[in-house]
Chains A and B, each alone.
Chain A
Amino acid sequence: MEGWDGMADGSAAAIGMAAPLSGEKSPATSMRRLARRKSTIAFVMCLPLILLIVGFVIYPAFYALWLSMLNKKMTTFVGLGNFAFLLKRHTFQLVIFQSCLFAVTAVVLKAFIGIILAHLMHNIPGTNQKIWRGLLLVPWVIPLALSTLTWWWMFDPSYSAFNWILNQFGFENVPWLGVGGIARACTIAVNVWFGTPFFMIMYLAALKSVPEQLYEAAAIDGAGAMQKLFFVTLPMMRNIIAITVLFSLIVTFAEFDIVRILTAGGPQDMTHVFATYAFQVGIQSGDIPLGAGVSLFMFPILAVSAFFVLRGVTQRTKDIAA
């Protein structure tokens, strides 16, 4: 603590020396010096954050760009060669398609189920609500890499818990992770299972923030439950829904754990998404530049989503401030 004060004083003194010796201390200059000292302290307090972001986010981002333009041995510059190579490759075209399919399907399902759950939860009075909410949040609390292991075990080809149930009802065994289409559905299902609670709590918070008077006014005007939903609740929640969906789109698009553990991209690369493919190419096969290139393909869609999330959040801040 004392060290901190000393450092702050030191920086202030350094600035004072740099300024011309003004002789008399007029109130204006002392105020200015105070303000300058304040902003110096503020900057010093932010310095760890700035160093972290510059060192481990901004620098790696540009480094990734540079890496992706080298050949496999990282000796010669090949320009956009890696990107062109990737786009021509059938496996990579599959990866693009599957990433989009995975993200869009999973986010739509999560948003839909999440909104249903939030409404159900909203009907339940206070103390009970906490218990039910806690139970539904369990999937989201367990580290995803660990719960995906359980899913893998339930999809196990030789002793699948799901197949046992199907057999009880007289159905055939399903090769859960052995056939491309079904494996895709399985990875999406696990993602929905994991991510829905997040949507639920976001929507529940938004539902609680809708003023009760609006519903009363709608009831007086003779609105039914459906009309209240479509003309009061959803418009009031529009911004939160948009922010949550876009945010989840980013996270889901960049998903790694589920696909890596359940299928590792197989069968026949039918479940690979950008992150798992980048891992396979870059880390496992040791082609760092190509792997960096695969990751960078995520950037455009992430940037667009991020732009709209940011706009939504600032818009909402203004709405609340107004």
Chain B
Amino acid sequence: MSATTMGTAASRAAVHKTSLHRQRLWALWGSYIALAVFVVIFLVPPFYTLITSLKSSAEISAQTGSPWLVKNPTFENFWYLLTYPNFQTYYINSVIVTILTVTVSMVISVLAAFSLSRMGFWGSHVLSTGVFLTYLIPPSLLFIPLFQIVGSIGLINSVWSLVLLYPTLAVPFCTWIMIGYFSSIPRELDEAALIDGASYLQILTKIFIPVAMPGIIAATIFAFTVAWGAFLYPLAYLYTSNQMVLTVGIISDLIRGDVFQWGKIMAACLLASLPPIVIYAFLMDYYVAGLTAGATKG
């Protein structure tokens, strides 16, 4: 009697378990299939960029056959760009502007975040809030008065105007996430260092920066993304090709009137997207962690 009840109970549990298992499996495979569909849709533009960049100008202007396939793959577009002086200038300008912006932004935001999260002064809470609010200001709100300001200090059509202005876009968010990371470091650590006679700068360089390295990487990537991809400021403030950066250079240089050299444009896009893609491929986890920490940790 008891044996039979135990038997049915066990079999019922087994049935329940397998049905649950099957349900999970279905959910898993369903998710994979749905995600695959989304991935295909989302990757159409990058794929098409690659396909077009491998086509010769003749093949594009012939306009026959499927645009989604390439008949005679060629690297002539890439070769043209790599030996094209203007494109080299844009690339070098982008690299210089980005490196300077990232360096300046990180120095400013690490110092400020350390001060705001650990030391504090009269009004530092207001400043923290202000930093967050500044992060919410989009570049398109103030680009016209900044145009006048840039003009009045003689930096119109100079790549240095970008070095001056890009930090305003990067610093607020970098400071914000660095405050989050610094605040999560236990206070005992810096108290112990203070007792041992360390100065604040030593605490920052010897304890905080090493411990908050993931945050610093995330903030650096953010500053890099902003400086590399910004479009409005360079479009508004630069107009000769020796001063342009990649985002505006490609558009203004390879599109002349109604002549679109699409093969070259797409190859240029690919070359210009390469640094961000490489960086994200290796450091994606840091960036995602930093970004989500900004909102989930507060």
Query: Helix, strand, loop or mixed for chain B's interface?
Result: helix
6 closest Cβ pairs, A-B complex: A317-B298, A143-B229, A254-B138, A42-B119, A275-B140, A205-B292
Q: Does B231 contact A (CB under 8 A)?
A: yes
Q: Which residues of B contact A53 (CB under 8 A)?
A: 130-131, 134, 168, 172
Q: Bound complex: CA of A67 vs CA of B127, how far in Å?
A: 27
Name the contact of A41 in the complex, choosing from B63, B144, B200 (C-beta under 8 A). B200
Is B31 a contact of A250 with CB atoms below 8 Å? no
Is A45 a contact of B281 with CB atoms below 8 Å? no
Q: Which residues of B contact A144 (CB under 8 A)?
A: 229, 231
User: Which B residues form the contact surface with A (CB < 8 A)?
Assistant: 27-28, 31-32, 34-35, 38-39, 42-46, 48-49, 52, 60, 63, 66-68, 107-109, 111-112, 114-116, 119-122, 124, 127, 129-134, 136-149, 164-165, 167-168, 171-172, 175, 199-201, 205, 228-229, 231-232, 235-236, 246-248, 250-251, 260, 262, 265-266, 269, 272-273, 276-277, 280-281, 284-285, 288, 291-292, 295-298
- Can you show 18 pairs from A to B with CB atoms below 8 A apart? A42-B120, A48-B107, A61-B142, A120-B38, A133-B288, A134-B281, A136-B42, A146-B246, A153-B48, A153-B266, A197-B42, A205-B296, A247-B136, A256-B232, A257-B232, A260-B235, A275-B138, A295-B144
Given contacts A124-B35, A306-B133, contact A38 B119 (CB under 8 A): yes
Nearest-neighbour CB distance to chain B for A146, whole angstroms, equals 4
Q: Which residues of B contact A244 (CB under 8 A)?
A: 295
Nearest-neighbour CB distance to chain A for B57, whole angstroms, equals 13
Binds B, one of A84-92, A170-178, A227-235, A277-285: A277-285
Is B142 a contact of A60 with CB atoms below 8 Å? yes
Query: Helix, strand, loop or mixed for chain A's interface?
Result: helix
User: Which A residues form the contact surface with B (CB < 8 A)?
Assistant: 1, 4-5, 8, 38-43, 45-46, 48-50, 52-53, 56-57, 59-61, 63-64, 67, 116-117, 120-121, 123-124, 130, 132-139, 141-147, 149-151, 153-154, 156, 158-161, 164-165, 193, 196-197, 201-202, 205-206, 209, 240, 243-244, 247, 250-251, 253-257, 260-261, 274-275, 278-279, 282-283, 288, 291-292, 295-296, 298-299, 302, 305-306, 309-310, 313-314, 316-317, 320
Q: Bound complex: CA of A264 vs CA of B131, how far in Å?
A: 32
Is B108 a contact of A49 with CB atoms below 8 Å? yes
Q: Bound complex: CA of A275 vs CA of B138, how far in Å?
A: 10
Is A124 a contact of B121 with CB atoms below 8 Å? no
Q: Who on chain B is nearest to A284 by CB?
A: B236
Is A138 a contact of B295 with CB atoms below 8 Å? no
Q: Who on chain B is nearest to A190 by CB?
A: B45
Q: Which residues of A contact B142 (CB under 8 A)?
A: 56-57, 60-61, 64, 295
Q: Who on chain B is nearest to A42 by CB?
A: B119
Q: Who on chain A is nearest to B44 by CB?
A: A154
Is A39 a contact of B132 with CB atoms below 8 Å? no
Is B31 a contact of A120 with CB atoms below 8 Å? yes
Residue among B45, B149, B167, B298 with most chain A CB within 10 A: B45
Q: Which residues of B contact A274 (CB under 8 A)?
A: 140
Is A141 a contact of B247 with CB atoms below 8 Å? no
Q: Bound complex: CA of A137 vs CA of B283, how far in Å?
A: 13
Q: Bound complex: CA of A121 vs CA of B134, how far in Å?
A: 32
Name the contact of B284 in the complex, choosing from A43, A134, A255, A305 (C-beta under 8 A). A134
Q: Bound complex: CA of A150 vs CA of B260, how far in Å?
A: 12
Q: A123-B28, A139-B46 are in contact. List 16 more A-B contacts (CB 8 A).
A: A8-B199, A43-B121, A49-B131, A49-B175, A60-B149, A67-B148, A138-B42, A143-B247, A145-B248, A149-B266, A164-B67, A205-B295, A256-B232, A275-B140, A295-B142, A302-B138
Is A147 a contact of B141 with CB atoms below 8 Å? no
Q: Who on chain A is nearest to B114 by CB?
A: A45
Q: Bound complex: CA of A20 vs CA of B226, how far in Å?
A: 50
Q: Which residues of B contact A197 (CB under 8 A)?
A: 42
Is A161 a contact of B48 with CB atoms below 8 Å? yes
Given contacts A130-B285, A136-B42, A150-B46, contact A50 B201 (CB under 8 A): no
Q: Who on chain A is nearest to B27 by CB?
A: A123
